[in-house]
Structure 1
């Protein structure tokens, strides 16, 4: 996947999933408190220099200077450490949880080898179910305040989606 992203999306920044990294930390380092310390390093909103200091301190504290998983994970830090992600847009996502949840939801509606028009119909049906399930009384019984100068387009969109 990493190579495909590098080749197809030349300017994209590939980010590793924090949730999976946390699980890997637990299964690869069996020292009480390490997973928590690792998560703190992952989420450290600071510059790279302070991250490096925090990482070194953590590794020394837990005696992991020769642990192969720790060494390999550190080499990939530019793909998971918040300090190295600064200035890149990820829409607030740090894990694959949202996309995996959506995949699980859409899979019953979509099958392999659907023709494009069939895919659109199935996808639209799935979205309609999401809208129906998430509609609340306020959404159903009120009309949104129109705020742009394109009132006709905004009104039409509001009628379609609320």
Structure 2
């Protein structure tokens, strides 16, 4: 995503995480084969949920592996707001963390074209490629309208509604989160507020708990993991709270336009 403050005032420039990971390997040195170190580095990239957790994890990584004076890690930290998910969870990105979309487009056309291809020939290749993409999209659209996705769970209430409003690909994402939700514990917290606040945590996992705030009268819901704001899809924590409150349909405000 490229910053353009006048046209896209809420946009944010992000660096491709795939390229960061590939570049990082050349700077790991002896730590290249150290799995715990790589887990800490990857957590800083995309698995921290807030800035405090990111800072704690980054300091631990530098201290445990003696990297406080490493120039490359200093330079990477300076630009942390451009690559760490924890510092970008207020911005919608549909879960895109790399530039793979443009690279896939380049590949789709590049395997037929070269530096010597004329503009006329390139336009013909590009037009043919677009026709193929649109044909495939129309076929998927037709299949989505004429059929209902299958599931290992009975398609009732919330899951049934998800199968009706989402494409097959998005339904699979929702189904995975639904599966994770069934393995969580939720406890309602006593708060002096008309809103309901739940503590949701996985039954067996190293992941910590998250807090879900639910306004049942207006069907507004928010989770501290921020997946809904960033990706536009419900996390397992929210689905768990919906299940506890017998919510049978996805609120319309959370069904994004395609």
Using structure 2 for the length normalisation, give the TM-score.
Answer: 0.45
Q: What does 1:29-68 align with in structure 2 at a 5 Å threshold?
A: 29-30=28-29, 31=31, 32-33=34-35, 34-68=37-71
Provide the secondary structure at the position in 1 that maps to 2:145.
coil
Higher strand content, 1 or 2? 2
Query: Per-residue displacement from partner, 1:54-82 (whole Å, max 9, x unpaired)?
Result: 11011111110011110000011000111
Counterpart position of 1:21: 20
2:74 maps to 71
Distance 1:46 1:104 in 2: 34
For residues 106-117 of structure 1, what are the structure 2 equivalents within 5 Å? 106-107=109-110, 108=112
Aligned-CA RMSD value: 3.5
Distance of aligned partners of 1:144 and 1:64 in 2 relative to their CA distance in 1, 3 Å threshold: same
Structure with more of its chain in helix, by fraction: 1
Confirm or deny: 8 A CA contact 1:109 1:123 kept in the other structure.
no
In the alignment, structure 1 residue 95 sits paired with structure 2 residue 94: no
Partner of 1:152: none
Question: What's the CA shift for 1:104?
Answer: 1.3
How far did residue 139 of structure 1 move? 6.5
Whether contact under 8 Å (1:25, 1:38) holds in the other structure is no
- Matched pairs, number: 138
Structure 1 stretch displaced more, 5-14 or 59-68: 5-14
How many Å apart are 1:113 and its aligned residue? 5.3
Name the CA shift for 1:91/1:53 in 2 (closer, same or farther; >3 Å): same
Select which of 86, 89, 95 maps to 2:89.
86
Q: Distance in 1 between matches of 2:88 and 2:53?
A: 14
User: Structure 2 vs 1, CA of residues 7 and 44 (structure 1 numbering), >3 Å: closer, same or farther?
Assistant: same
Matched, 1:105 2:119: no
Residue of 127, 131, 138 corresponding to 1:128: 131
Which ranges of structure 2 fall in alignment gaps of 5 or more residues?
Answer: 147-163, 165-258
> Does the aligned pair in 1 maintain the 2:40–2:57 contact within 8 Å?
no
Where does residue 198 of structure 2 map in the other structure?
Answer: none
SS state at 1:72 partner: helix
- Conserved 8 A contact 1:22-1:35: no
Q: Which residue number in structure 1 is paired with residue 158 of structure 2?
A: none
